[in-house]
Structure 1
Amino acid sequence: MQNDNNPDGAKSPWNIGALGAPPYDPFSTPSDYKEDFRPQFHFSPKNEWMNDINALIYHDGTYHMLYQWGRNARHGGYATSQDLVHWDDRGVALVPQDTFLPKDAVRNASGKEVYSGSGVFVEGEAAKKITGSPEPALVAIYTGTKVGTCIAWSNDDGKTWNNYENNPVANATEGVDPRDPCVIWYEREQKWVMAIYENGTTFYGSRDLIQWERLSNIHFGFECPDLVELPLDGDGDRMKWVLYDANGSYLVGNFDGTSFTDENKAEPLMMDCGPDFYAAQTFFPHNLPEKKYIQIAWNDHWNGGVGEEKWERNATFPVELGLVTRDSKMCVTRTPIDEIKKLYVGDPIRKSNIELGSENILTGVKSKAFDMTLVIDLNNAFASSIIFNVTNIEYVYELESEILNYTALIRGENKEKSVPLKPNADGILKLRVLVDWSSIEIFSDDGVFSFSQQINFDPNGDNLSLTSLGGQVKLSFLELQTLRSIWN
């Protein structure tokens, strides 16, 4: 079996042998998580920069998340959770050779920097070949720049992270390409499959995560691929594969363990149409309490930031992926996980069967972090638009053109944008809206419509407004539930 390890890799100053260390705590100044724009129910690091989600692994009651950390050099940041909602920021698990951290931070990752990847769970002989022990192990597969596709592992539930002594295991490089390996377990052939950003997306196969063989290539995708298998319309006998990239562009079809075939036979669809969805990954599904695909993305698309200080950027709220038929196409759905209900505090605000007009129906309602459901009957509506204000930010839904207008931060500048948002066949528009101190996520059409945005809501404001312009429209149902902070 082919292996494209670099035989001279050990001589590279960026390629090290076996070395392990506990996560390094770079947080000299504690955070109270109350800074302006600090998300209250979305993960963000205590300090410094975060971007791509890199490895999501569950084991024995704990969810582990590695993510890119560090503006000037990318490291492997590390956080854990017991419920996918409350997160413990553990510091930096993977420290590259070109780190800016102090000398006491052990360099325990191959590569000038740690670029994106994914994570899997192994045990028994599979673990022994990598770690030297059959004990269960968390394995992160990442791009070590100037080295290649590399492995790091922990067999003590993240207390210590270790560099694999014979990195790289594949894709030896003198730069950063190929990059972003996504590794899955392909059960039908009892083998590992890697999808990596290389001339589109290239697939590799392995029996042990160490020896890799090139399988095929598809001219699709830009950065951070992920490959998931979902039941179509909830039918377990109609399983389909979804291949998506960092932008959320995706294909749906068949993967036979070697190559991917698109069955939608259309332009790639988008699983999120907002301005700030990027580099999503799913949890390794095979040892989750229930086999499903739980996804977390970076809540930014290089927008320039909202003015946050001490830390920069955050993650999206976890969602479960699904697959449904819409307009003769197979479409991905994104649905916030039910664990959000653990954060509900106080009594919900409820309204039903009222006419929405020029008068603000949310007068007196004040919240900066909430989960809101809206059901709007657009039949026989006289209104031309529906206007939703969160403090200083306005979202406008145009009834005739069926579009949502919004203002987006694009590399530090405000730009007026719009996205299609259609009611269902009965003329009903149902929305799920998650608002945090610096983000909004909107879901509709059972999750087929998804919109993620990092936005500079006024940190000193908590007023809300919901009105219509040009006439009235029926609001069938509204429920707004305030959310408590995950950091309390």
Structure 2
Amino acid sequence: MTTIVAAVLMATSAQAQVQPRVLGDNHVMVSIDTNYKYVLLPVEERAENASVRVIGKDNQSYRRPNVRLSVDHIDYYVPLEIKDGQTLDIIFHGDRRTKGVLKEFACWKEMKFSNTFDTSNVERFRPEYHHSPVYGWMNDPNGMFYKDGEWHLYFQYNPFGSLWENMTWGHSVSKDLIHWEALPNAIEADAIGTIFSGSCVVDTRNSAGFGKNAIIAYYTSAAEAQTQSMAYSTDGGRTFTKYEKNPVITSDIPDFRDPKIFWHEPTQKWIVVLAAGQEMQFYSSPNLKEWTFESSFGREYGNHGGVWECPDMMQLPVRGTGQQKWMLVCNINPGGPFGGNATQYFVGQFDGHKFTCESKPEVTKWMDYGKDHYATVSFSNAPENRHVVIAWMSNWQYANQVPTHQFRSSNSIPRDLDLFADGEETYCGVIPSKEMLALRGNKVKKLTDACELVIDVRGSMELTLGNANGEEVTMRYDAQQQTFSMDRTKSGDCSFSEAFATVTTAPTHGALKQLRIFIDRCSIEAFAADGKMAMTNLVFPSIPYTMLKVKGGKATIYEIVK
């Protein structure tokens, strides 16, 4: 759930049609009504991007987002804050022979000025208890940290449409990891580039010199090259000031991004791990400003079906041993076990200079065996030495096509990580965070579109969620093979992508005794209660699943108390 931070749309909007000044086949200027806070831009998703430049009263350019301005019809509106602007300078792309006559575009007839923008939910697939943006596109979670009783979640965000573009750090905060309040955007594009993924740390040592407990953000500035930039916050992560000497870390590698920073106590240094093409690179620093290259890892290890992205690094306890080992998280796209993106990881040791993997190079380990779990990263400075992660709940194979308009994408439920041994290998344990238990309400007899199922499993098991339209999701546990599968081929709307109708299968690393399943309108997350299996898949049923059949187990349904 997300707290709405904008007022109701268009109660005071100007309805008059704007008068475009056509300057060529693809060039238009529009005068801004400065009596209003926003210009409401009509979006048509099948249109090509137009470059919208805001020119101020001083004739300086202040913003230049790309927006799919409506040519024939309107899918939805997005707000562009006017501030001191006086003119919109718009360049359209594409062939005028196919897009038509510029002055007749639908956007001129429906463009409005307003002091408010409505973000009340109009989507039946918007989740009840998962984080999602109030409007617009979202992908990777970024910069997550905990401080003073608040969990901060930043995310890759497009404020100007529900398709990927205009990368910005959006921002939400929560006191319980469940109920999220949307805050103003935290870090926006500048002359160095748009704002790609990264991380935040709480500088308790004042290493960077911006003050004790300042929040230090590192992110990728993406333009002709990908470089690493820094910003700092002295108000607890609400607002950031960009470092005057950006970019701080550079490379000649094209895919060089997603800095994850952590403190390494034995060497008394900060470490940053960066995705660099098909490997991860480690740098160290005493002050979060000057960085020394230490080592690289990964060229011969794990899956290399796609680009390595969004690293994370953490030291975790191994159940029942008293030992701790290091885990390097490596998100990859494509190359996932069922197509598209996924989160792989490596277990081993890290001495502050080099990561050494304990598995053979050909071994690949996946954190989640669903299609819709990616860009998994952890909250820094989490209490009780917890390692809490959140993932982006989608897949690049169809993320831009899923059947929503007002927003696209949500995050997984929070999960706590540890390690467990199975045979000669050590694996990542994934358990729904304890905060999820607070959502449990009364036991009910009927499925709802937002609930938790607990299944006590007896041997092999088959479970089916269904609705009156004949749509269904079938989950099976094979006790002999020790595998769990989820079949969404008949789950509802699969028409938007050939890659969507899929059966996903996971090892359970031992007998499955209890299953926890979280259903939330358009998602199903299944976990072995002991944390040895996780699977996340989206579904888009025409009506909610209300029928439940279980063979080989006993089901308990809990309502969700929001």
TM-score, scaled relative to structure 1: 0.79
- Structure-2 separation of matches of 1:434 and 1:172: 42
Indicate conservation of the 8 Å contact 2:228/2:248, yes or no. Answer: yes
Indicate conservation of the 8 Å contact 2:516/2:529, yes or no. Answer: no
2:376 alignment partner, one of 280, 285, 302: 280
2:148 alignment partner, one of 60, 63, 78: 60
CA RMSD of aligned residues (A): 2.5
- Structure-2 separation of matches of 1:28 and 1:331: 50
- What is the aligned partner in structure 1 of residue 313 from structure 2? 227
Q: Does 2:325 match 1:240?
A: yes
Q: Does 2:393 match 1:299?
A: yes
1:47 alignment partner, one of 118, 125, 135: 135
Change (3 A) 1:53 1:411: farther
Give the C-alpha shift of residue 122 in structure 1. 0.5
- What is the aligned partner in structure 2 of residue 17 from structure 1? none
SS in 2 for 1:340: helix
- What is the aligned partner in structure 2 of residue 321 from structure 1? 417
Q: 1:6-30: per-residue Cα shift (whole Å, max 9, x none)?
A: xxxxxxxxxxxxxxxxxx9979533
Q: 1:273-323: per-residue Cα shift (whole Å, max 9, x none)?
A: 1001111110113xx331110001100111334311201101010000010
- What is the aligned partner in structure 1 of residue 288 from structure 2? 209
Change (3 A) 1:122 1:343: same
Give the C-alpha shift of residue 479 in structure 1. 2.2
- What is the aligned partner in structure 1 of residue 31 from structure 2? none
Change (3 A) 1:257 1:167: same
Bigger mean CA offset, 246-255 vs 391-400: 391-400
2:474 alignment partner, one of 395, 404, 410: 395
SS in 1 for 2:436: helix
- Structure-2 separation of matches of 1:176 and 1:153: 26
Indicate conservation of the 8 Å contact 2:370/2:537, yes or no. Answer: yes
- Structure-2 separation of matches of 1:77 and 1:397: 38
Structure 2, unaligned stretches of length 5 or more? 1-78, 82-114, 159-163, 332-341
Indicate conservation of the 8 Å contact 1:51/1:69, yes or no. Answer: yes
- What is the aligned partner in structure 1 of residue 384 from structure 2? 290
Q: Does 2:483 match 1:406?
A: no
SS in 1 for 2:437: helix
Indicate conservation of the 8 Å contact 2:422/2:509, yes or no. Answer: no
Give the C-alpha shift of residue 172 in structure 1. 4.9
- What is the aligned partner in structure 2 of residue 253 from structure 1? 348
SS in 1 for 2:325: strand
Q: Does 2:276 match 1:198?
A: yes
1:464 alignment partner, one of 539, 544, 547: 547
SS in 1 for 2:309: coil
Q: 2:419 is aligned with what amino acid?
A: L
Indicate conservation of the 8 Å contact 2:521/2:544, yes or no. Answer: no
2:227 alignment partner, one of 148, 158, 172: 148
SS in 1 for 2:530: helix
SS in 1 for 2:501: strand
Change (3 A) 1:111 1:412: farther
Q: 2:188 is aligned with what amino acid?
A: V
Indicate conservation of the 8 Å contact 1:37/1:306, yes or no. Answer: no
Q: Does 2:161 match 1:83?
A: no
Q: 2:192 is aligned with what amino acid?
A: G
Indicate conservation of the 8 Å contact 1:369/1:484, yes or no. Answer: no
Indicate conservation of the 8 Å contact 2:447/2:557, yes or no. Answer: no
Taking only the aligned residue pairs, the percentage that are identical comes to 27
Bigger mean CA offset, 33-42 vs 434-443: 33-42
Please say which structure displays the higher CA radius of gyration.
2
Q: Does 2:188 match 1:95?
A: yes
Give the C-alpha shift of residue 410 in structure 1. 9.9
Q: Does 2:118 match 1:30?
A: yes
Q: Does 2:518 match 1:434?
A: yes
- What is the aligned partner in structure 2 of residue 16 from structure 1? none
Indicate conservation of the 8 Å contact 1:294/1:318, yes or no. Answer: yes
SS in 2 for 1:165: coil
- Structure-1 separation of matches of 2:198 and 2:290: 17
Give the C-alpha shift of residue 442 in structure 1. 0.6
Give the C-alpha shift of residue 32 in structure 1. 3.3
- Structure-2 separation of matches of 1:122 and 1:195: 17
Q: 2:501 is aligned with what amino acid?
A: K
Change (3 A) 1:209 1:127: closer
Give the C-alpha shift of residue 91 in structure 1. 3.0
- What is the aligned partner in structure 2 of residue 107 from structure 1? none
Give the C-alpha shift of residue 127 in structure 1. 4.3
Q: 2:227 is aligned with what amino acid?
A: G
Indicate conservation of the 8 Å contact 2:371/2:504, yes or no. Answer: no
